Structure 1
Amino acid sequence: MKRLYIYLLAFLLPVCSLAQETVIIKRKLTGDVKEHVSVLKSDNKIREGLYQAIIGSKNALASGKYTNNVKTGVWSFYDTGNHLVQRFNYTTNTLLYEAPEDTTSNCRYLVDRTLSDTDHTTKPVIRGGRFYGYIPYLKLFRLPPDMRDINTEVVVTTIELLVSPGGRLADYVVHFQAQNYDRKVSFNIDLLSEEDKTFVPATINGEPISCRIFIRCFLTAGGDLDLY
């Protein structure tokens, strides 16, 4: 028995020595969203272990795991009411679940084709779901200097994304509308990561097709963009 214990100890020691110590870093993503990221203690630029994005004081928007800076395994994504909106397996690159949308959704979809009652359609889907998945677009937004005095309480703000049949983001603009006011501002999509520009494309009867996504959002008093 003693000899077996020694053999097991000799086997486990190299394995244990490979484990690296991690620490949790907390930082702000948007005004109301913070992320808790597990990183290597020896190099806080390398994400390793559990990840959570939290809105407010407790509601999760995203939870999953990193392995050497890469998302792995099944991630779960939620809306602001803590309802599950998506599950995605990053190891197999598979969409496991996407919650259906109803008339209360802040997203609308438009294709440049007349649809019949018999057409079967699917919408474009971004990894991360309908809230967390669009946070990178909020972070890219910058209010033009000549709009800093705009009345944020009356302007209607909408994000418009154009997704190609190949599932690639082709355009990103923000519309600002109010009485006697209509303006559109474009943003450089090259500043987004490849993941943030990749969608499951929309389809009609199984054929991939380009689609525009319109997302209702709002301007904060500080001039940032945020989602409802």
Structure 2
Amino acid sequence: MSKFFILIMMFCGVQVCLAQTEVVRKNKITSQVTEKYNTVITADRQMKQGVYQAMYGKKVLLAQGKYADDKRVGLWRFFDKKQKLIQVFNYDTGKFIYEAPEDSTSSFKYEIEAKTTDSIIITKPLKQGGRYFGFLPYLRFFKMPQELQGYDPDDMNVVIELFITSMGQVAEFKMHFVAHYYKRTLSIDPGQLYPEDKTFKPATYNKEPISSHIFIVCQINKHGELDMNP
């Protein structure tokens, strides 16, 4: 191999290195949740690549999976704030592999617009990301009403309501505020949500998709942000 050819190869390798850079990013989703992932930067775009993790605090894993060319791929696992597994989703097939059952202590409640009997089989709507990580995008729309500034958060209830169509799309997004001698509902335009945050697997009624409501009882944490328990 000639020295000239070797120099050409070395030059091309340098050009490739200069044209593509990989950096590790850490972003705060909320005051308690931090995401960490690799970003590949080229001359014309930035994209997530490789392992992704989201942590609650510094020790509790909430989400773990991989990106390829800025898209989630393969199996992703999602956990609650006690690091209990609550969902496994396969992004290659678009299927829910596992969804943890809920009991009476869950902060999530569901309603369908149809009569129910013991012979009717009903499934709840499902969100990719599970009942904690998957619902974090809705919390960022929280804003304390001016008239409640300075009010003790322990004496207040905040309930998120989502109306999910039979097509699996968020059609209504509301926040209900209830305090002593006070009640107010704020409507939020679903158009402000990212497309992936508007998409659910709809509830079913005897295996047929049906519209539904999700109600999530939330708390205001010490940072003045909305939080929830799945």
Q: How does 1:135-214 map to 2 (within 5 A)?
A: 135-214=136-215
> Runs in 1 of length 4+ with deviation above 6 angstroms?
none
- In the alignment, the residues of structure 2 paired with residue 135 and residue 78 of structure 1 have an alpha-carbon distance, to the nearest angstrom, of 13
Which one-letter code corresponds to 1:90 in the other structure? Y
Partner of 1:28: 28
- In the alignment, the residues of structure 2 paired with residue 105 and residue 165 of structure 1 have an alpha-carbon distance, to the nearest angstrom, of 23
Shift of 1:107: 0.4
Which one-letter code corresponds to 1:37 in the other structure? Y
- In the alignment, the residues of structure 1 paired with residue 138 and residue 193 of structure 2 have an alpha-carbon distance, to the nearest angstrom, of 8
Partner of 2:74: 73
Partner of 1:3: none
Deviates more, 1:105-114 or 1:118-127: 105-114
Q: How does 1:35-50 map to 2 (within 5 A)?
A: 35-40=35-40, 42=42, 45-50=46-51
Structure 1: tracts of 5 or more residues without a match: 1-9
Structure 2: tracts of 5 or more residues without a match: 1-8
Deviates more, 1:182-191 or 1:194-203: 182-191
Which one-letter code corresponds to 2:25 in the other structure? I
Q: How many residues align?
A: 215
Q: How does 1:81-120 map to 2 (within 5 A)?
A: 81-120=82-121
- In the alignment, the residues of structure 2 paired with residue 185 and residue 222 of structure 1 have an alpha-carbon distance, to the nearest angstrom, of 21
- In the alignment, the residues of structure 1 paired with residue 187 and residue 49 of structure 2 have an alpha-carbon distance, to the nearest angstrom, of 35
Give the CA RMSD over aligned residues: 2.3
1:131 aligns with 2:120: no
Which one-letter code corresponds to 1:209 in the other structure? I
